[in-house]
Amino acid sequence: MKLFEYEAKSMLQKYGVNIPQGKVAKSPGEVAAIARELGKPVILKSQLTVSGRSKAGGILPASDPEEAEKVAFSLFGIKIKGLAVKTLLVEEKLDIKRQFYASIAVDRQARSHVLLVSTTGGVDIEQVAKTFPQQIYRLHIDPLSGLTEIEAGKLVSLLGLNRDDSAVFVSILKVLYQVVLEKDAELVEINPLAQTSSGAYVAADARIAIDDNAIFRQPELFERNLKREEDTPREAEARKLKYSYVDLDGDIGIIGNGAGLVMATLDLVNLFGGKPANFLDIGGGAKLDIISNGVLLVIGKPEVRAVLINVLGGITRCDLVAEGIVVGLNSAPLKKPVVVRMLGTNEVEGREILRRNNIDYYPDMEKAAEAVVRNLGGNV
């Protein structure tokens, strides 16, 4: 789960990292009031969890409260990468002398955390990595010894800072690692880590992403987890029901068990010229109500014109899946064509249930995918 900039900053502040003075606002009036309270030039920052806000015109300066209000009017409601700006972070404009970069992320292949620092901050780090890779310094953190003072010091020494600045920088890196461990962050990034004209180090921008699998032990994020701006209304509903669901922009509803199989089903439907409306993985060993509610969720999406259900029964029983499909279809307010592919445990019993209820059945997923596309008039 990605946190908003203001949430990330407030988390870092609790660990002693300097952040700019500022507050969040939901209306132009609030923006003006905050600018007045700060009493200096401000920056208005759209709070969205996507990158590239600045390039898209979502971050703008204002020299006084009146201008701030006017700029706020132009920012609220605009869409950046499909997401509407609902919240602005109003911050003092910093007097920046130098911009650095610091982050900790997960290196999947190395199975460890990797610390990155650079003297080139304030720009897209992936761009820096491509054009000036020598300006990025990295350290794989040994999971058994953690981030030691010595290792962090060695890395920072490459930045060419004086002794005092180096010590501050090291302490900030240690905070990043603490956030990774204590808050289960899979990414903590300060970019830029700004040194102001007074010499202080300030997190001018910050990103934090929390490991979805660890949210159960981060009680302060329970509520937040269910309110993700990047979720569509149907994705949010699915998240509450603990479904693995993603909205797509086609018209064929897709349900299956197992992430890889469902992805392969999407790919097949596309290959045959169809357009999937969603991804829904009901998981292994799904119970009757999980299946019937999943059918309802997908069939209830207005754009869906037909549904393809692909189940490979291992620990999941095909007869139970068939029953769940029937229950779901019977309680659906609208009738839409459904094609089922089932194979594996209790397949014969499952097929019989589908037959009694006049539901199209195929033992082969490619034939089923072809059939659902053909039913909608596609050329297969």
Partner 1 sequence: MSIIVRKDTRVVVRGITGNEGRFHTIAMKNYGTNIVAGVTPGKAGQVVEGIQVYDKIEDAVRLQSANTSISFVPAPFVKSAVLEDIEAGIQTIIIITEGVPQNDEIEFIARATKKGITVIGPNCPGVINPSLKIKIGIFPESIFKPGSIGIASRSGTLTYEIAWHISQSGEGQSTCIGMGGDPIIGLDFVKLLKMFKEDKDTTSVVLIGEIGGNAEEKAAQYILDSRYPKPVVAYVAGRTAPIGKRMGHAGAIILGDNGTAESKISAYRAAGVLVAEKPSDIVKLIKNKTAIKGV
Length of the chain: 380
Closest distance of CB 258 from partner 1, Å:
3
Residue nearer to partner 1 on the CB measure, 83 or 327: 83
Interatomic CA distance for residues 268 and 368, integer angstroms = 10
* List 151, 189, 323, 370, catalytic entry: 189
Residue nearer to partner 1 on the CB measure, 179 or 306: 179
189 is catalytic: yes
If we measure between CA atoms, which residue out of 280, 289, 278, 286 comes closest to residue 313? 286
Interatomic CA distance for residues 141 and 138, integer angstroms = 10
Residue nearer to partner 1 on the CB measure, 23 or 287: 287
Interatomic CA distance for residues 269 and 263, integer angstroms = 10
Residue nearer to partner 1 on the CB measure, 62 or 268: 268
Please give the residue ranges that form the binding site for partner 1 (CB under 8 A): 106, 108-109, 111-113, 126, 142-144, 180-181, 184, 186, 211-214, 216-217, 230, 244, 246, 248, 256-264, 266-268, 270-271, 276, 279, 281, 284-285, 312-315, 343-345, 364-366
Interatomic CA distance for residues 349 and 130, integer angstroms = 57
Residue nearer to partner 1 on the CB measure, 91 or 184: 184
Closest distance of CB 173 from partner 1, Å:
17
Residue nearer to partner 1 on the CB measure, 8 or 71: 8
Task: With both helix axes pointing from N to C terminus, report the angle between 365-375 and 259-271 in degrees, rounded to the nearest 10.
Answer: 50
182 is catalytic: no
Residue nearer to partner 1 on the CB measure, 67 or 235: 235
* List 5, 6, 7, 101, catalytic entry: 101
Closest distance of CB 51 from partner 1, Å:
8
The residues annotated as belonging to the active site are: 101, 189
